[in-house]
Structure formats: C-alpha cells, structure tokens
Amino acid sequence: MSVGRITVKGDSPYDVVIGAGVLGELPGLLGEGVRTVAVVHPSTLPEISRPVCEALTKAGYDVVELPVPDGEQAKSVEVAAGLWSAFGRYGVTRSDAVVGVGGGATTDLAGFVAGTWLRGIKVVLVPTTLLAMVDAAVGGKNGIDTPEGKNLVGTFLPPAGVLCDLATLPSMPRADYVAGLAEIIKGGFIADPTILMLIEDDPDAATRPEGEHTRELIERKIQVKADVVGADLREAGLREILNYGHTLAHAIERHEHYLMRHGEAVAIGMMYAAELSRLAGRADLVERTRSILTSVGLPTAYRADAWPELREHMRLDKKNRGAKQRFVVLDDLAKPGRLEDPAEELLAAAYKEIAR
C-alpha cells in the first residue's frame, strides 16, 4: 500500500502520514536533534507500543516507555502530573520529544503534557484507533478532563507529525471501530457529502477495516479536519463547526461518567443537532442522519429522563460566550451555521424527538 500525506497548514504546518506498515516514517517526523523520546501509551495494550519503541530504538533514540491508564481515565490531572514527574526524572529537555501511541484519550494526554512541559516540546502522535486517526490526533488541540466536564483544561500545540498506520485497525474491537465512524460521518455532514455517499453505497463495508472505501473515508475525513484547523487553529470561528453534535455528546459522556464510547455519544449528539436544525427552520436532514447512523449500527436516541441533568452539563460547553449558548447546526448539507442563545423550549423540543 502506498504512503499518503496530508499537510495541515498554518503557522506550524505538519504532515499526517497514512498507510499500512508506515512506522519507518516515524524518525523523519521527529526531525533533527532529538535524543530522548518519551513514549506515552496505554498500560493495558503494550503490544501497540512495542513496534513503535523498537523502531525508535533501531533509529538510535533513547526510548523511555511511560504507560498510562487506558481510555478516558488517562485524561486526568493526576496522570498528567505523573508524566511531568517522569519527564523530570529522565531528563527530558526542550530538544527532546514525546510520542503518543494509542487511542484518542492517549493522544490527547500526550499532546497536553508535551505542550505544558518546559512550555512546549515536540510531540508526534501515532493514533491506533479509527477515532484517533480521523479526529483526536489531528488538529493540535489537546486536553484533559475535570469533574466539571470533558477537555476543559487544554492547550493548542500542533504536533510535529501524525502517523496513521492502517495496519493497526483490523485488531480493533468491532464496536470501537464502528464508534469511530461517527466522526467520519460528521465530516460528511459538515463539509464533504461524498463521505455520506460512500457509506450509503455499502454500509456494511464501512464498518470493516478492510472495506473497499476504508482508506478513502479516512483520508477524506482527515482532509476535512486539516482544512479547518489549518485555517483556524485556536477555534476563533471556523473550527467551531467541528463541534457539530458535540454539545450534547459531551454532556452525555459526563452523564455516563465517561464510560460510553465517544463516537456513540457523538452519533446521538448529531441526531439532536439535526432535530435542532429542523425545528429552528434551518436544514431538515433528520431522516438522512438517522438512516446513515442506524445503517452502520450507531445509536440515535438517549434516555428521556436524563434531559434536566444533560441541560445543566451543556451550559459548560466550550463554544459558549458568557451566558449565551451556541450550537452548531446545519443550514444545508455541508453548510454549517450557528444557533445562538436558542429558547429553552426549542432545546427541550429537539431532545424530545430523540428521547426514548
């Protein structure tokens, strides 16, 4: 399989390398002058970090392995502080680097600790899940969670590079892979309708890493994100469209104590955003949204009795400005817009449409 490259432009441009068996590209992404590489990876999955560490050792780097908890549990102040202490013990300097290997939670954490150690050192991300490849590892936005919400503490630090080795995808549990499709589908609705057509053409193939259009779907979604973050790294305006479906999704994740898969929450959140768009007199893409999500096995509804608590969680959304709530909606397919300070009755009515 050939090696693909998508460049994320901006003040600090970098490449996202895509292909199967592409670990040989890693030293090139680290660049010159790096001596010590701290490899952050999930402690429960040493097999995903082993090939990365071997490739780095073979290339002559001093490799320090730093295992962290798996999943969202890694994104805490306590885990971050433990990594900072380890950087100090192992003498990680400004000319050294962090490599984050794993799913989106691990790459978020790795980017955050790299961005805060010595006010920012080089980081290369090696996402090993579909969700991390198409979303979390691309964009330079890194964060950890607090009891009050998800990703409320974070940094903006573009990585030196991102390495998406598609050979890691077949080992993913099917449910995790399907959950990753939610972010791909989001990209179709906000920017690239060809993504939706490819999934509608063969939903079953879309749910398999070896599917006919898998690589194209991944590359298209990465390109969507690259175009957006290259123009707006710090979420001053355009980048907000990437939060389509995420206002409710993050509230659901907090309600579920972060035990629900991110992609499943995003799927429900997109369903809510579609209903909100329709009820606000914007685009009516409700049925197409429901059809695509259900065709690949993603959820489209959530508990009716959860609304009061979800509504409170939504008040901490990062897009809010002062007391005003802002929602990303669709004015048409691939034409996202914003709905500012909608009436409480409208928000509740949209939720009623997806409640079970």
Q: Which residues are catalytically annotated?
A: 119, 141, 183, 225, 235, 239, 243, 246, 250, 262
Give me 5's structure tokens: 């490259």
With a CB cutoff of 8 Å and minimum separation 6, the contacts of 88 are none
Task: Identify the helix (H) or strand (E) that includes residue 332.
Answer: strand 326-332
In terms of Cα–Cα distance, which of 195, 194, 176 is closest to 185?
Answer: 195
Other Cβ atoms less than 10 A from the Cβ of 120: the count is: 12
344 is in an annotated binding site: no
168 is in an annotated binding site: no
41 is in an annotated binding site: no
Other Cβ atoms less than 10 A from the Cβ of 71: the count is: 18
Sign of CA dihedral 234, 236, 238, 240: positive
- β-pair partners for 122: 97
Q: Residue 53, SS3?
A: helix
Amino acid at 30: L
Alpha carbon distance 288, 148 (integer Å)? 34
221 is in an annotated binding site: no
With a CB cutoff of 8 Å and minimum separation 6, the contacts of 81 are none
Give me 356's structure tokens: 């079970």
Q: Which residues of 216-230 are buried (b: 16+ CB within 10 A; e: fewer)?
A: ebbbbbbbbbbbbbb
74 is in an annotated binding site: yes
Q: Are strands 326-332 and 335-340 parallel, antiparallel or unpaired?
A: antiparallel
End-to-end Cα separation, the chain, in angstroms:
44
104 is in an annotated binding site: yes
161 is in an annotated binding site: no
Amino acid at 273: A
141 is in an annotated binding site: yes
Q: Residue 347: left if φ>0, alpha if ψ -120 to 50, beta else—which one?
A: alpha
106 is in an annotated binding site: yes
248 neighbors 272 (Cβ within 8 angstroms): yes
73 is in an annotated binding site: yes
Annotated binding residues for Zn(2+), as ranges? 183, 246, 262
Residues at the binding site are 70-75, 104-108, 128-129, 141, 150, 183, 246, 262
Binding residues for NAD(+): 70-75, 104-108, 128-129, 141, 150
